[in-house]
Structure 1
Amino acid sequence: MGEYGSLGIFLLVALFFPVMALGPAFLLQPKKPSPQKYIPYECGVDSIGSPYVQFRAGYFLYALLFIVFDIETVFLYPWAVEFRMLGAFALIEMFIFVGILVLGLAYAWRKGDLAWK
């Protein structure tokens, strides 16, 4: 079968299941296009004006900061689970890790990125 045989089988299975689930739904769906179906619609009220809305960059900055700190704190969970077996070296390493996170948070705070303007 070779080194990549199991990978190929996995890829085929990964492609097979979505096609088998979505294929019949696509073939059997009712298709009655009309101009009414292509208009923008929100909450039962026809839209007024352009659907393009410009958001402030602050929203995206909050989202990025949340993702960074959320992903970084996920690394705390395995450490907490195995804390007793890891010893003092891991404790010191975790304090360094959390210190870097705190420095990043302090930097964002001092820069004013956390102020809701």
Structure 2
Amino acid sequence: MFLISKYNYFWLFLLLASLIPPVASPISSYSAPVGKGPEKFTSYESGIEPIGDAWIQFQIRYYMFASVFVISDAETVSLYPWAMCFNELGVPASAEASISVTIPIVGSVYAWRRGASEWS
């Protein structure tokens, strides 16, 4: 038998979660201090006065390492549920997971051989 009362806590949580942002935003805008001045528009560098322009060009290698980091994190997050249900899923899921792990490894080896991971 389906009881709607089982979901009362869910609906209460959903209602409270949807009310927090519209209530908190006006409260923070009225209670936050407003400071206007030239210091407001300078970049903060650990308490040191900034020297030069903040718009400098970074090497593309920083972005490549960041993208490798994001891909490996996404791979880890996607493999965690599979690892929790390993016994129930069986061999087909194991084959799919190994393919899912192999593709970024092959891409990393290819990039390494092409010299994408060298700094100079």
State TM-score, norm by structure 2: 0.70
- What is the percentage of aligned positions where both structures have the same residue? 38
> Per the alignment, do residues 84 and 23 of structure 1 end up closer, same or farther by CA in structure 2, a change over 3 Å counting?
same
Superposed displacement of residue 102, structure 1:
1.7
> Per the alignment, do residues 33 and 89 of structure 1 end up closer, same or farther by CA in structure 2, a change over 3 Å counting?
closer
For the aligned residue pairs, the C-alpha RMSD in angstroms reads 2.6
Structure 2, unpaired ranges of 5+: 1-13
Larger deviation, residues 81-90 vs 54-63: 81-90
Q: RCO higher in 1 or 2 (8 Å CA, sep ≥ 6)?
A: 1
Q: How does 1:1-117 map to 2 (within 5 A)?
A: 14=18, 16-117=19-120
Cα distance in 1 between the residues matched to 2:59 and 2:68: 15
Structure 1, unpaired ranges of 5+: 1-9
**Which residue of structure 2 aligns with residue 3 of structure 1?**
none
> Per the alignment, do residues 83 and 51 of structure 1 end up closer, same or farther by CA in structure 2, a change over 3 Å counting?
same
**Which residue of structure 1 aligns with residue 11 of structure 2?**
none
> Per the alignment, do residues 31 and 112 of structure 1 end up closer, same or farther by CA in structure 2, a change over 3 Å counting?
same
Aligned length: 107
